């Protein structure tokens, strides 16, 4: 039976960089989730007769929230919900499923790399029929609906057991519970040379894949160990847990320090990788050789043609603005287009749909291609493995060769977390006001060439997105970018992105922090970061 429950708008339900992310208790307090789900349903024009994909990264409250979503989808007239068994679907697998099954969209439950648990973070986002995160226009409609909602509809009675494969009815709606892994693993097998990678492993190549107690564990066991023959035990922390083993499922050198230690040890495996809470991010590390996400994107763009799925070459590439220009140099050499978009995978969707970009990536540990409409952690790992198998080189050699050919865009991101929101807002506002006056001024060893606030005009649909980060360019080609994160759940996170190009063959193997010292000093002098945040230094350096 359909119940219509009176409600009233809840403040602050504005989707951020990737859906709505809040503390778990906030989402658990009825009707917070219910309001937001109804706003999504209304914001996308209803779900009557439609098919939705539903799944999440398995974090605390995942299964309960899916029960609510199924009951609301049924009460709003949806025809079918396709759910990953146990409520599990990695974000890229969900994107693939939406596309493969020609669903009308999907609801993905995840706060990505943010910690999970009763006191940690939860999140929900809507992906459209192309499998990608909703555009800004759609998230604006959803947000508008959160502000004038008066009721929500929910099916009275329990949702079917999502632990059991097969179909069940919920009112007039079919709930179809599917294997969350098989379709995705098949897709990977269609893109990469599994035979070559199998030979690599058979010849003794060793991998350590750290699933960080999150969603990619079961996917990695199936693909790396079962289908590709990596030694049993290659996948570590491979069982998803509701609080990610008490950890922070963010694949970077800080949070994946166990992997870093293993890869910098004397008996290090040949290749290390990690993925995040919902499986869309990746970290790549060779023996004693961490690969920055921006460099990884450049290498993949350069060598993707070695994998069967990309043998025809790339139509173009795209990167988010704060990502380094390493990939631009590859694109220029190949004579293909390179697009610069705002932070957020949603901005790649139109370029991928229009066939103008084949590969996309971000400094925030995300790379992907037109095979789905999300970034894809295991995809990046498999493309790297394909490249290693095809070239016979190790990660360190690949990087040395790449820098020797293209130069090295030294790169680092400094994060100041849980900064007072007012102080962070004032820092950004004051710097924005100062931008026009910066050109020509000297800060330590550097002189400002130009400075601006980044805005993006989508070349496909003509939409305009302003206020996407502040950029300061120096006359020596170095750059600093400042923006506030759109994925945090407490206070503000200030991100400072630092980059400097080096082409001197004798200077390609320095420590990035040392290579970037002048930029770090200059941007602190310009923006007053230490003084305004009250911090001695960043909380996280990647």
Interacting residues with ligand G16 between 100 and 119 (CB under 6 A): 112-113
- Nearer to ligand G16 (CB atom), residue 386 or residue 412: 412
Q: According to the binding rule CB under 6 A, does residue 280 interact with ligand G16? A: yes
- Nearer to ligand G16 (CB atom), residue 316 or residue 366: 366
| Helix/strand/coil (H/E/C) assignment for every residue in 330-342 | HHHHHCCEEEEEC
Report strand pairing: 207-210 vs 271-275.
parallel
3-state helix, strand, coil in the chain (%, to 5): 35, 25, 40
Piece of 217-225, 227-235, 304-312, 339-347 that binds ligand G16 (CB under 6 A): 339-347
- Shortest reach from residue 171's CB to ligand G16, in Å: 32
- Nearer to ligand G16 (CB atom), residue 152 or residue 348: 348
Residues 532, 437, 454, 414, CA torsion sign? negative
- Nearer to ligand G16 (CB atom), residue 153 or residue 346: 346
Asked if omega into 31 is within 30° of 0 (cis), the reply is yes
Piece of 63-71, 81-89, 276-284, 286-294 that binds ligand G16 (CB under 6 A): 276-284
- Shortest reach from residue 250's CB to ligand G16, in Å: 9
Which of 221, 281, 287, 471 forms a contact with ligand G16 (CB under 6 A)? 281
- Shortest reach from residue 328's CB to ligand G16, in Å: 18
Alpha-carbon gap, residue 453 to 431, rounded angstroms: 10
Per-residue string for binding with ligand G16, 12-31, x by CB under 6 A?
-----xx-------------
Terminal alpha carbon distance of the chain: 51
Per-residue string for binding with ligand G16, 463-492, x by CB under 6 A?
----------------------xxx-----
Q: According to the binding rule CB under 6 A, does residue 364 interact with ligand G16? A: yes
- Shortest reach from residue 3's CB to ligand G16, in Å: 33
- Nearer to ligand G16 (CB atom), residue 358 or residue 367: 367
Distances (CA, A) of 236 to 73, 197, 205, 221, 506: 36, 19, 16, 9, 38
Say which of 18, 95, 110, 112 is annotated catalytic: 112
Interacting residues with ligand G16 between 282 and 321 (CB under 6 A): 320
- Nearer to ligand G16 (CB atom), residue 43 or residue 344: 344
Q: According to the binding rule CB under 6 A, does residue 55 interact with ligand G16? A: no
- Nearer to ligand G16 (CB atom), residue 308 or residue 486: 486
Which of 105, 251, 349, 366 forms a contact with ligand G16 (CB under 6 A)? 366
- Shortest reach from residue 485's CB to ligand G16, in Å: 3
Q: According to the binding rule CB under 6 A, does residue 362 interact with ligand G16? A: yes
3-state SS, residue 485 = coil
Nearest Cα neighbor of 91 from 374, 364, 371, 488 is 374
154 and 75 Cβ atoms separated by less than 8 Å: yes
110 is an active site residue: no
Distances (CA, A) of 462 to 132, 347, 357, 457: 18, 12, 16, 6
Alpha-carbon gap, residue 75 to 377, rounded angstroms: 35
Nearest Cα neighbor of 219 from 57, 41, 405 is 57
Beta-carbon-side half-sphere exposure of residue 386 (alpha carbons within 13 Å): 25
Alpha-carbon gap, residue 112 to 122, rounded angstroms: 9
Piece of 57-65, 237-245, 275-283, 464-472 that binds ligand G16 (CB under 6 A): 275-283
- Nearer to ligand G16 (CB atom), residue 78 or residue 318: 318
- Shortest reach from residue 491's CB to ligand G16, in Å: 13
405's tokens? 């050919």
3-state SS, residue 34 = helix
Using CB under 6 A as the binding criterion, the count of chain residues that bind ligand G16 stands at: 18
Alpha-carbon gap, residue 188 to 183, rounded angstroms: 9
Q: Residues interacting with ligand G16, by CB under 6 A? A: 17-18, 112-113, 276, 280-281, 320, 343-345, 362, 364, 366, 485-487, 495
Return the active site residues: 112
């Amino acid at each position: 039976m359909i119940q219509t429950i009176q409600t009233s708008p809840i403040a602050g339900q504005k989707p951020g960089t990737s859906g709505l992310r809040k503390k778990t208790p906030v989402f658990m307090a009825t009707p917070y989730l219910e309001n937001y789900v109804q706003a999504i349903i209304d914001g996308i024009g209803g779900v009557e007769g439609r098919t939705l994909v539903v799944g999440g990264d398995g974090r605390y409250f995942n299964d309960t929230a899916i029960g609510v979503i199924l009951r609301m989808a049924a009460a709003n007239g949806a025809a079918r919900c396709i759910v990953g068994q146990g409520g599990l679907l990695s974000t890229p697998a969900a994107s693939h499923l939406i596309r493969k099954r020609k669903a009308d969209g999907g609801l993905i439950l995840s706060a990505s790399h943010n910690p999970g648990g009763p006191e940690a973070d939860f999140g929900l986002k809507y992906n459209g029929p192309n499998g990608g995160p909703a555009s800004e226009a759609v998230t604006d409609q959803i947000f508008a609906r959160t502000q004038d909602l008066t009721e929500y509809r929910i099916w009275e009675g329990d949702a079917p057991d999502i632990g059991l494969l097969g179909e069940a009815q919920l009112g007039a709606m079919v709930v179809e519970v599917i294997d969350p892994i098989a379709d995705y693993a098949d897709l990977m097998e269609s893109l990469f040379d599994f035979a070559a990678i199998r030979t690599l492993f058979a010849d003794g190549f060793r991998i350590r894949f750290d699933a960080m107690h999150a969603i990619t564990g079961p996917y990695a066991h199936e693909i790396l160990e079962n289908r590709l023959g990596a030694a049993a035990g290659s996948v570590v922390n491979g069982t998803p847990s509701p609080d990610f083993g008490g950890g922070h499922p963010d694949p970077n050198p800080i949070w994946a320090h166990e992997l870093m230690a293993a890869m910098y040890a004397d008996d290090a495996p040949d290749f290390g990788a990690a993925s995040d809470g919902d499986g869309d991010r990746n970290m790549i590390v060779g023996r004693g050789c961490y690969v920055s996400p921006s460099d990884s994107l450049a290498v993949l763009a350069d060598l993707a043609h070695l994998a069967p799925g990309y043998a025809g070459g790339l139509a173009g590439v795209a990167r988010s603005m704060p990502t380094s220009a390493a990939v631009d140099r590859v694109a220029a050499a190949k004579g293909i287009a390179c697009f610069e978009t705002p932070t957020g995978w949603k901005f790649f969707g139109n370029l991928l749909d229009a066939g103008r970009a084949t590969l996309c990536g971000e400094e925030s540990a995300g790379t992907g291609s037109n095979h789905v409409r999300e970034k894809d952690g295991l995809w990046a790992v498999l493309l790297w493995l394909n490249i290693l198998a095809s070239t016979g080189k190790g990660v360190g050699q690949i990087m040395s060769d790449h820098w020797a050919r293209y130069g090295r865009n030294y790169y680092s991101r400094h994060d100041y977390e849980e900064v007072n929101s007012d102080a962070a807002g004032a820092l950004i506002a004051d710097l924005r006001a100062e931008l026009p006056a910066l050109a020509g001024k000297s800060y330590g060893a550097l002189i400002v060439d130009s400075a601006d606030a980044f805005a993006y005009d989508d070349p496909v649909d003509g939409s305009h997105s302003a206020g996407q980060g502040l950029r300061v360019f120096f006359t020596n080609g170095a750059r600093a970018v400042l923006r506030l994160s759109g994925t945090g759940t407490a206070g503000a996170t200030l991100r400072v992105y630092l980059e400097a190009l080096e082409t001197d063959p004798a200077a390609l193997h320095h420590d990035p922090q040392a290579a970037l010292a002048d930029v770090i000093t200059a941007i602190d002098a310009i923006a007053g970061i230490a003084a305004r945040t009250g911090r001695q230094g960043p909380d996280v350096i990647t």
